[in-house]
Amino acid sequence: MSLLRKKHWQRRHLMETFMKFIMRVSLFIVAGALGLILWIVIVRGLPSLSWDMVTKIPEGGYYMGKVGGILNAIIGSAYLAGGGTLLAVLFSVPIALYLKTYLGDSKWGQYVRLSLDVLWGIPSIVYGAFGFALMITIGMRASLLAGIIILAFIELPIMTRAMDEVIRRMPVDLEHAALALGSTKFEVALRVVTRQMLPGITTAILLGFGRGIGDAASVLFTAGYTDRIPTSLMRPTASLPLAVFFQLGSPYPEVQQRGYAAALILTIIVLAVSLGSRWLSARLNKYTIK
Amino acid sequence: MDSHIQVKNLNVYYGKQQALKNINIEIPKNQITTIMGPSGCGKTTLLKTFNRFFELTEDTSLTGEVLVDGKNIYDKDVDVTEVRKVVGLLAQRPSPLPMSIYENIAYGMHIHKMKKDRSEYKAAVRHYLEIAGLWDEVQKRLHDPATSLSIGQQQRLCLARGLAVEPEIILGDEPTSALDPISSQNIESRLIELKQQYTTVIVTHTLRQAKRLADYVIYMYLGEVIEAGPAKEVFSNPKHERTRQYLEGQF
Amino acid sequence: MSQENPTFSNQTNKQAEGRAFRPSATLRARQDQAAQRAFFIFSLLPVLLILFVTVALFFRSWPIISEYGLSDLLFGEVWKPNNGQFGFWPFILGTFWVTAVGVILAVPACLLASIYLAEYAHNRTRSIAKPVLDLLAAIPPVVYGVWGLVAIVPFVDDKLAPLSDRWLGSFSIFSVNQPTGFNVLSAGIVLAVMVAPLIISVMYEIFSTVPNDLRHASLAVGATQWQTIRNIILPQVAPGILAAVVLGASRALGETIAVLMVVGNIPQIPTSIFDSAYPLPALIANNYGEMMSIPLYDAALLSAALVLLVVILIFNILSIIVLQRMTRKK
């Protein structure tokens, strides 16, 4: 006599099959949304994407459908996100090093991580309003510099946590080995952890840059918008997300079309940055000890 | 010999690496079989092929057959949960589920809808706790979390939980290695009591335990079965040189 | 070894590092201490920044809070800045509706998808799903807005609204009262997709804190995988799942540009998912230009930002504390 019955369609097995099916469907819907978004942006943006779009600034009557491009917004966004990222690196690298080498899982370390996570969750519209509140208090006008500072605030928690996650996985043995040789913690931080952190820093920089270049709500308040390419930190500047936003709000179909093209350009940049960080960190990871 | 499990031409691979090489053995019914061998020889892997647990590791593959009562448990039409009902497992470390002592025992019976009403469940829970020798210790606190038990008690709880789904075969993966000597002895004596009704297969790395428990012995080395036979014969007169070295080397 | 190197001599001989066993005296140790102090100052930045943002917004919104009182602002139903009437209630409810619809749409799918990834999927599926979710998270809000404008608004208008009108019209929250697709549902759909990567990745991480022993214990008595998940794993991770949902909701609360582009921006109290709404973030973003032209307008908008910030801070802190606890246990 064998107790091994054949597979039979008991309720629990039907349930198993059914749940697995709707789980697959759910995952497919979420993944499918990405495909749908990319498809829409390409289909809408590609027809009006032209060489002029990326090489010219808006010329007379551009916003009524005449010639010109959005080079001002592309350069402006590069300045804004580049500057913001640079500023954020200067602060996030020391914080991440400190978290790993000195704080570990101590109370203060937990508070710092908590506050970084909380900062991460503050929406960019609030950062924008905060920037605006500061600017009217000190009498500063919308400018590239103000935009860079606010973007740095937005990128700081993202970048620090990204680095923290990478170096947290660094084996303790490595740190102990260095300490056993008589290094101070500072030397461990500077010589061992930084090397281990390199892929983390790279990923973090690209992650921060990607977030910064796509952010609209904060630069709306702080960087303003202009048709010119900024020549000084104190001048206002255009940005890609706002170029999309403003042009889509136009009643002229030609201008709306260019809004879609601008969205495509922005998407391409962001996806390139995201894929690039994946590729780079995989390459750099070869030289770290796991 | 009345065999309960038959293994035929079994090969197991982790990725490209072969973990078990052409295993052919029979495991006798209602006796205790111990699988011995140096660590890394594939004892646990072999054991895990008996309840299809080795499938839980990704990137594994298997050829050959494992027959329980003549039925290949790897056949397409076999329900894997049914296999695990028939072939129970006592793990290396006790793994109480995050629920009360009572619910731990009732869990498997609920899953398989084995009882009709609360009183039947209650009676069954008591019955299996008694078999595992735990009833006297826990009857006053059946609804405490299972994690409040000592490690040794937890392992007996896991034994009771496994028996509650009415298996025919009990697998033990070094079931006493995490326990203190007294708890170990307790588990061992339960296993000996139970061997009248269950076919038991124990992986062990201590030779002394094998000698205490075994009716039948399998000796493995580097993924192969070197020698298998009744405990008396193998211990007193090993046929294979390597088995003899292992038996002597331990003392 | 110390007889030729009396400890008091190292004050005159600073270069002789290593010989003295008083670490506080060596150059390297002092460098280490200085570095530690500098690092500490850097680590104050995130904590101070939260305080600073809150205080600055509070300071700037004080003129209007002190003049009207908090409850008049929060629960006032009329928004006519030109008449000096600043009632946030329609905007607060607009925010609530949009967020609620987004979260309700996102959570079931995210939970199922994360269970699949954590419990069923092969490594290969995971290695595809991870970058897909990362890309989804990387797409800027304004691009989501474009997608909503081009795909979701017409879809809601042409397909869902007639369907709902026909079958569910008798329930007031599904009734169709206005002729466009710029409504709460469109915004909710866009938000659901936007917060999905975050919710899935947090839930996935929560599932991976469950030790394998527990799964094996249940499987070993012959439970199916779904029985194991429902009876053993889900009760274990329930607080973390809830925290993930709250985290997703707080992300949705503050979303601005994408919502603004599809929600209609009509300052009314919505009663149906097919009504337009005007959430707080959209209010702030849409009116920044006129802020300085009307008295107290700037204070009103900044206090709207403050309200948003306070709610989000509470949501965030609670959920992050729960998540930190759960992941640390591992």
Strand C79-80 with B3-14, pairing: unpaired
Contact yes or no for C221 and B53 at CB 8 A: no
> Which band of pLDDT confidence, cut at 50, 70 and 90, is reported for residue A5?
low
In chain B, which residues have their Cβ closer than 8 Å to the Cβ of C122? 58
Instruction: Using the structure block, give the residue that is written with the tokens 């007169």.
Output: B237
Contact yes or no for A3 and B77 at CB 8 A: no
CA–chain centroid gap for A244, Å, is: 18
Report pLDDT for A10.
76
Whole-angstrom distance, CA of residue C104 vs CA of residue B194:
53
Report pLDDT for A181.
67
Report pLDDT for A289.
61
In chain A, which residues have their Cβ closer than 8 Å to the Cβ of B197? none
DSSP C146-169: HHIIIIIHHHIIIIIHHHHHHHTT
Among candidates A128, A205, A84, A206, which has minimal Cα distance to C257? A128
Contact yes or no for A12 and C224 at CB 8 A: yes
Q: Which residue of A has its CA nearest to B166?
A: A3
Nearest to C216 among B56, B83, B165 (CB): B56
Which carries the bigger pLDDT value, residue A2 or residue C294? C294
Three-state SS sequence of chain B = CCEEEEEEEEEEEECCEEEEEEEEEEEECCCEEEEECCCCCCHHHHHHHHCCCHHHCCCEEEEEEEEECCEECCCCCECHHHHHHHEEEECCCCCCCCCEHHHHHHHHHHHCCCCCCHHHHHHHHHHHHHHCCCHHHHHHHCCCEHHHCCHHHHHHHHHHHHHHCCCCEEEEECCCCCCCHHHHHHHHHHHHHHCCCCEEEEECCCHHHHHHHCCEEEEEECCEEEEEEEHHHHHHCCCCHHHHHHHHHCC
Report the mean per-residue pLDDT for chain A: 87
Architecture of domain B3-95+168-249: 3-Layer(aba) Sandwich (3.40)
For the residues B12-16, what does the mean pLDDT come to?
A: 91
In chain C, which residues have their Cβ closer than 8 Å to the Cβ of A97? 39
Whole-angstrom distance, CA of residue A189 vs CA of residue C34:
14
List the structure tokens of B134. 């735990």
Q: What is the CATH number of domain C70-329?
A: 1.10.3720.10
List, for residues B105-149, the tens digit of each pLDDT value. 999 898 888 888 999 999 999 999 999 999 999 999 999 999 899
CB-based contact (8 Å) between C50 and chain A?
yes
CB-based contact (8 Å) between B113 and chain C?
no
Q: What are phi and psi of A214, to 5 degrees?
A: -90, -10
Whole-angstrom distance, CA of residue A102 vs CA of residue B198:
57
Contacts of C330 (CB under 8 A, 6+ apart): C208, C209
In chain B, which residues have their Cβ closer than 8 Å to the Cβ of A7? 77-79, 82
Whole-angstrom distance, CA of residue C303 vs CA of residue C67:
13
In chain C, which residues have their Cβ closer than 8 Å to the Cβ of B82? 222
List, for residues A231-259, the tens digit of each pLDDT value. 889 999 999 999 999 999 888 888 899 99
Report pLDDT for A8.
57
Contact yes or no for C221 and B162 at CB 8 A: yes
Cβ count within 10 A of residue A250: 16
Which carries the bigger pLDDT value, residue C42 or residue A172? C42
Contact yes or no for C143 and A112 at CB 8 A: no
Beta strands in chain C (DSSP E): 79-80, 85-86
List, for residues A66-99, the tens digit of each pLDDT value. 778 889 999 999 999 999 999 999 999 999 988 8
* Residue C63 Cα, gap to closest chain A Cα (Å): 13
What ipTM does the predicted assembly reach? 0.91
Report pLDDT for C7.
43
Task: Give the total residue count for chain B.
Answer: 251
Element holding C320 (H helix, E strand): helix C297-329
Contact yes or no for C221 and B59 at CB 8 A: no
List, for residues B178-195, the tens digit of each pLDDT value. 889 999 999 999 999 999
For the residues B152-158, what does the mean pLDDT come to?
A: 93
Statement: residue A284 has pLDDT above 70? yes
Q: Where along chain C do its domains lie? A: 2-68, 70-329
Strand B87-90 with B216-221, pairing: unpaired
Spatial strand order of the sheet with B224-230 comes to B87-90, B169-173, B199-203, B32-36, B216-221, B224-230
Contact yes or no for A217 and C324 at CB 8 A: no
* End-to-end C-alpha distance for chain B, whole angstroms: 31
Statement: residue A227 has pLDDT above 90? no
Chain B neighbours among C 258-287 (CB < 8 Å)? none
In chain B, which residues have their Cβ closer than 8 Å to the Cβ of A8? 79
Q: Cα–Cα distances in Å, from B190 out to A88, B126, B128, C99?
A: 64, 16, 12, 58
Q: Where along chain B do its domains lie? A: 3-95+168-249
Nearest to C122 among B53, B58, B161 (CB): B58
Sign of CA dihedral A133, A136, A138, A140: positive
Contact yes or no for A4 and B111 at CB 8 A: no
Among candidates B89, B164, B86, which has minimal Cα distance to B127? B164
Contact yes or no for C321 and A114 at CB 8 A: yes
Strand B199-203 with B32-36, pairing: parallel
Nearest to B161 among C214, C221, C236 (CB): C221
Whole-angstrom distance, CA of residue C189 vs CA of residue C183:
10
Q: What are phi and psi of B28, to 5 degrees?
A: -70, 150
Contact yes or no for B69 and A2 at CB 8 A: yes
CB-based contact (8 Å) between C244 and chain A?
no
Among candidates C317, C55, C259, which has minimal Cα distance to A217? C259
Q: Which residues does chain C have with pLDDT short of 50?
A: 1-21, 23-24, 330
Statement: residue B58 has pLDDT above 90? no
Whole-angstrom distance, CA of residue B234 vs CA of residue B244:
9
> Which band of pLDDT confidence, cut at 50, 70 and 90, is reported for residue A4?
low
Q: Cα–Cα distances in Å, from C96 out to C92, C93, C275, C280, C301?
A: 6, 5, 13, 10, 18
Whole-angstrom distance, CA of residue C166 vs CA of residue C170:
9
* End-to-end C-alpha distance for chain C, whole angstroms: 47
Q: Which residue of A has its CA nearest to C223?
A: A12
Report pLDDT for A7.
57
Report pLDDT for C11.
44
